[in-house]
Structure 1
Amino acid sequence: MKTRREILMTGALLSAASALPRKAFAVSPRAAPLAAPWRRFEVVTRLEIAAPAGRSQAWIPLAGFQASEWTRPENDTWITNGASATLVDDPRYGAKMLHVIWDDGTGSPSVEVTSRFSARDRATDLAAPNAQPISAAEKSLYLSETSYIPTTGAAKALSDKITAGADGEIAKVRAIYEWMVENTFRRAATRGCGEGDVAAMLKANDFGGKCADLNGLFVSLVRAAGIPARDIYGVRVAPSKLGYKSLGANTANITKSQHCRSEVYFSDLGWVAMDPADVRKVMLEETPEGLPLNDEKVIAARKMLFGAWEGNWLAYNTAHDLALPGSQGPAIGFLMYPQVETAAGRLDCLSPETVRYSITASEI
């Protein structure tokens, strides 16, 4: 039997999705968020170092983020010719990774990691208070600045300008969300998911990029307004059931399907799903010619992604400024791709000539 909260959350996502054109909306009652059974997925990451030099290391992000209502990591297994393979949890954010070390002289260093997890759609009825307190430490963590996510200076000035006259948490976040949709853009030429360097974006007054950039900017502006927010870094694992080609992984090969989403913490509601970057993705990629803001599918996505998202996605972690254990290189802005380091230094994780990896997903 569904609880009252499950019914409220189900209604929220179905209401948002009902604005989709009928021909594009194909969710059966059984697929209703939280009313449907959990979906289980298996994700396999295969990595090979093309040009090993001396002692080599790799760090593979794992299904480590857990939220009992919508995502549950299960287990990780691996096969490698490395000298050691260690599960590591980052002490600050809890980011989970596999750290593999290969000795000098290892031929064709490689590792294959299999992760299983369960997920389901989520949605929050913003008119139904359901307080879920978080600790002072967690609140402080997701209000703090990072090297890429400023909360003072230009970020604070822009946040104050956007939220001027807005009364209350939801109104302020709504103002920032709508500003993001109307004033940012998805830049197709951006490598990967972008660098997420919001400080540089603000300095250049350049509000284009991909999900790490745009949702990073959103998080920065919300934190600057005094409201906890965070990016969750992950990868899409299945097609969208809401009729959006651009909001899902449409093949079993998800090597280039990384995506970060955002959450905002409301004192009366707990953590709530947000994704303004995906609204801009719909506008740029849903059709070859692109879609305007007033297109039906854009309007529906814009409504839905303020408070809801589909469970076709694996959540890795929320980490920023992450020091990779055992690394001789600098901290990384976020962990969403496998990272590799040899005696020659940190390799470019987006360069297939040096770091060969593939990621596949299947529903089980």
Structure 2
Amino acid sequence: MHNRRDFLTATGSIAAGLALPTLATAQERRFQPRQGGWRTFELTTRVEPALAQGASRVWVPIPSLDTDWQQSLESSFATNGRAERVSDGVEGARMLRVDFDTAAAQPFVELTTRVRTRDRAVDWSHRQAVKEDRDTLAHALQPTTLIPTDGIVRDTARKAVGDARTDEDKVRRLYDWVVANAFREPAVRGCGEGDIKTMLETGNLGGKCADINALFVGLCRSVGVPAHDVYGLRLAPSAFGYKELGSNSASLKGAQHCRAEVFLQSRGWVAMDPADVAKVMRQETPQWIKTVDHPLVAPVYRGLYGGWEGNWVGYNRAHDVRLPGSRLGPLGFMMYPVAEDAQGRFDSYAPDDFKYQISARELKA
């Protein structure tokens, strides 16, 4: 096992003011998302719950975001159960709920959704005051069960931002702090749990996207910068050749990925993804890369501060999701199919046991 403590010691001094890399060599990989044309995908999720005992209920997430970078279009379904489109009612997560009774010998539901996506990239040379609904901004500052904004979270954020006063300066330092101190841990199941207080209290900042981007979101919120996670799914390979930043469209089990957004007063909602920087550093090559100046990492580190690639769909921005009709407690977030039967909740991180399949295909004009 790598000695992460030594790595933190070596990088901790740069966390508060890590400069953008100026490295530009012939070996540097290209990663430059640019807002442009739309891509249309058809996304199919098929669930065949392995009933252990009695009746069951399934919830399948439906893309629910309509923005300048995603359009959630029509959806349709086939099932031998009783299906209804529902919402959690608070956080805006949409889903298909399907009930199966004990007579269903081979229960199934297949949900097909069309979405349009495109790259995002902020123009840092252009400033303009942006108005946003007060309630939306207030909601993006609130603590959640897994993302508190007081105590060790706020203390950590204040140390990381130092003397920064503007929202952009704070976010720049927090992004750099997370990249320098958090790290991708492949052994974590699924996308992680996003329990940032425990991460900070234990000093173990290893995790996956739901951990690392939740940490970034919580740190931003704790110093007054509205932020939220966006929970979704990779749909296709990366156009820039990074294997870890794309997926196999024919089989998207395990392709779930959450990203982050922050609201900057002179930019509006801006894309961020420090978790994918960590993923490239840890998994793009057999060797763990431990510097953002590496020619493979540098363009990703730059590009994911203010942008992301449109080979991904966002389901929702929901935290503390209450599933309509569930007998059990809320979810920290929803970007996987969920099911319950008389014995309890299925393991969404085990699609082959659950069981479900997800695939996508790009529709050409």
TM-score, normalisation: structure 2 = 0.90
Tell me, what secondary structure is at the counterpart of 1:154? helix
Question: Aligned pair count?
Answer: 343
Q: Taking structure 1 as reference, are residues 252 and 16 closer, same or farther at Cα in structure 2, changes over 3 Å only? A: farther
Paired position in structure 1 for 2:57: 57
Q: Check conservation: 2:147, 2:196, Cα contact below 8 A.
A: yes
Tell me, what secondary structure is at the counterpart of 2:355? strand
Compute the displacement of 1:338 (Å): 0.3
The C-alpha deviation readout for 1:298-339, integer Å capped at 9, x for no partner, is: 111111111011100010001111110000001000001000
Q: Check conservation: 1:51, 1:354, Cα contact below 8 A.
A: no
Paired position in structure 2 for 1:74: 73
Q: In structure 2, how many angstroms separate the alpha carbons of the residues matched to 1:255 and 1:197?
A: 23
Q: In structure 1, how many angstroms separate the alpha carbons of the residues matched to 2:322 and 2:246?
A: 30
Tell me, what secondary structure is at the counterpart of 2:361? strand
Compute the displacement of 1:126 (Å): 2.4
Paired position in structure 1 for 2:17: none
Compute the displacement of 1:51 (Å): 2.3
Q: Check conservation: 1:17, 1:300, Cα contact below 8 A.
A: no
What RMSD over aligned residues (CA atoms) do the two structures have, in Å?
Answer: 2.0
Compute the displacement of 1:52 (Å): 4.2
Q: Taking structure 1 as reference, are residues 207 and 308 closer, same or farther at Cα in structure 2, changes over 3 Å only? A: same
Q: In structure 2, how many angstroms separate the alpha carbons of the residues matched to 1:338 and 1:26?
A: 31
Compute the displacement of 1:125 (Å): 1.4
Paired position in structure 2 for 1:252: 250
Q: In structure 1, how many angstroms separate the alpha carbons of the residues matched to 2:321 and 2:31?
A: 40
Compute the displacement of 1:198 (Å): 1.1
Paired position in structure 2 for 1:315: 314
Q: Taking structure 1 as reference, are residues 20 and 240 closer, same or farther at Cα in structure 2, changes over 3 Å only? A: farther
| 1:188-337 mapped onto 2 (5 Å cutoff) | 188-293=186-291, 294-337=293-336
Q: Taking structure 1 as reference, are residues 205 and 353 closer, same or farther at Cα in structure 2, changes over 3 Å only? A: same
Q: In structure 1, how many angstroms separate the alpha carbons of the residues matched to 2:249 and 2:316?
A: 23
Tell me, what secondary structure is at the counterpart of 1:49? coil
Unaligned runs of 5+ in 1: 1-14
The C-alpha deviation readout for 1:44-93, integer Å capped at 9, x for no partner, is: 101111124222101101111121x21001111111110x2111122222
Paired position in structure 1 for 2:175: 177
Q: Quick one: which of 114, 121, 125 aligns to 1:123?
A: 121
Q: In structure 1, how many angstroms separate the alpha carbons of the residues matched to 2:273 and 2:359?
A: 24
Q: In structure 2, how many angstroms separate the alpha carbons of the residues matched to 1:26 and 1:169?
A: 26
The C-alpha deviation readout for 1:220-271, integer Å capped at 9, x for no partner, is: 0000010100000000001111221111114421111110000000111110
The C-alpha deviation readout for 1:139-180, integer Å capped at 9, x for no partner, is: 111100000001001100000100111130111000000011
Q: Taking structure 1 as reference, are residues 93 and 18 closer, same or farther at Cα in structure 2, changes over 3 Å only? A: farther
Q: Taking structure 1 as reference, are residues 47 and 173 closer, same or farther at Cα in structure 2, changes over 3 Å only? A: same
Q: Taking structure 1 as reference, are residues 244 and 19 closer, same or farther at Cα in structure 2, changes over 3 Å only? A: farther
The C-alpha deviation readout for 1:250-298, integer Å capped at 9, x for no partner, is: 4421111110000000111110000000000001111122323131121
Deviation larger for 230-239 or 98-107: 98-107
Deviation larger for 344-353 or 259-268: 344-353
Deviation larger for 209-218 or 101-110: 101-110
Compute the displacement of 1:21 (Å): 5.2
Compute the displacement of 1:352 (Å): 4.0
Q: In structure 2, how many angstroms separate the alpha carbons of the residues matched to 1:162 and 1:85?
A: 48
Q: In structure 2, how many angstroms separate the alpha carbons of the residues matched to 1:159 and 1:175?
A: 9
Q: Quick one: which of 25, 31, 34 aligns to 2:30?
A: 25
Q: Check conservation: 1:324, 1:331, Cα contact below 8 A.
A: yes
| 1:340-351 mapped onto 2 (5 Å cutoff) | 340-351=339-350
Aligned residues: percent identity? 43
Q: Check conservation: 1:20, 1:300, Cα contact below 8 A.
A: no
Q: What is the identity, as a one-letter code, of the residue corresponding to 2:77? A: W
Paired position in structure 2 for 1:41: 41
Return structure 1 stretches of 4+ with deviation > 3 angstroms. Answer: 15-27
Q: In structure 2, how many angstroms separate the alpha carbons of the residues matched to 1:62 and 1:352?
A: 18
Q: What is the identity, as a one-letter code, of the residue corresponding to 1:80? A: T
Q: In structure 2, how many angstroms separate the alpha carbons of the residues matched to 1:345 and 1:268?
A: 47
Q: In structure 2, how many angstroms separate the alpha carbons of the residues matched to 1:51 and 1:217?
A: 36
Q: In structure 2, how many angstroms separate the alpha carbons of the residues matched to 1:136 and 1:144?
A: 13
Compute the displacement of 1:19 (Å): 5.2
Q: Taking structure 1 as reference, are residues 21 and 110 closer, same or farther at Cα in structure 2, changes over 3 Å only? A: farther
Q: Check conservation: 2:253, 2:358, Cα contact below 8 A.
A: yes
Q: What is the identity, as a one-letter code, of the residue corresponding to 1:33? A: R
Q: Check conservation: 2:87, 2:324, Cα contact below 8 A.
A: no
Q: What is the identity, as a one-letter code, of the residue corresponding to 1:25? A: R
Q: Check conservation: 1:65, 1:95, Cα contact below 8 A.
A: no
Q: Taking structure 1 as reference, are residues 87 and 19 closer, same or farther at Cα in structure 2, changes over 3 Å only? A: farther
Q: Taking structure 1 as reference, are residues 54 and 274 closer, same or farther at Cα in structure 2, changes over 3 Å only? A: same
Paired position in structure 1 for 2:6: none
Q: What is the identity, as a one-letter code, of the residue corresponding to 2:34? A: P
Compute the displacement of 1:16 (Å): 10
